[in-house]
Structure 1
Amino acid sequence: MAYLLTAVMTGGVAALMSLFEGHAIGQIALNYIVYGHLGMATLVLATVAARRFDRKKTR
């Protein structure tokens, strides 16, 4: 669920910025899709890195 919400928020911000800059509807949709996926990828990378470098684990 967090991945979906991250996509909606990051894509939404990119779409709003494009809207305020006066871009066409196609560019707004493209920014929403592209930056939404980049936001999800960033969250996945942060999650994997947090699990990989967890200092609380005892070996």
Structure 2
Amino acid sequence: MKGSEKTKARLEQFAGRMVRKAAPLVGEKIVAAKGLAMEVRGKARLMKVSVKDRFH
């Protein structure tokens, strides 16, 4: 379960980074902000899983 949570977090972080970097190429500022939000959400999930791993 932990491995799949980490994978999900890393994929969300990666997808957010790709969206954030690709959005300015097509001139979409709102999409870039959504990509940044996805990236931050992925980082937060990864931190949550890391903290859970330390205490279990």
TM range (shorter): 0.5 to 0.7
Stretches of structure 1 lacking an aligned partner (at least 5 in a row): 1-5, 54-59
TM-score by length of 1: 0.54
Stretches of structure 2 lacking an aligned partner (at least 5 in a row): 1-9
Residues matched between the structures, number: 40
TM-score by length of 2: 0.56
Greater helix percent: which structure? 2
Please give the root-mean-square deviation of Cα atoms over the aligned residues, in Å. Answer: 2.3
Identity among equivalent pairs (%): 17
Q: Which has the greater radius of gyration?
A: 1
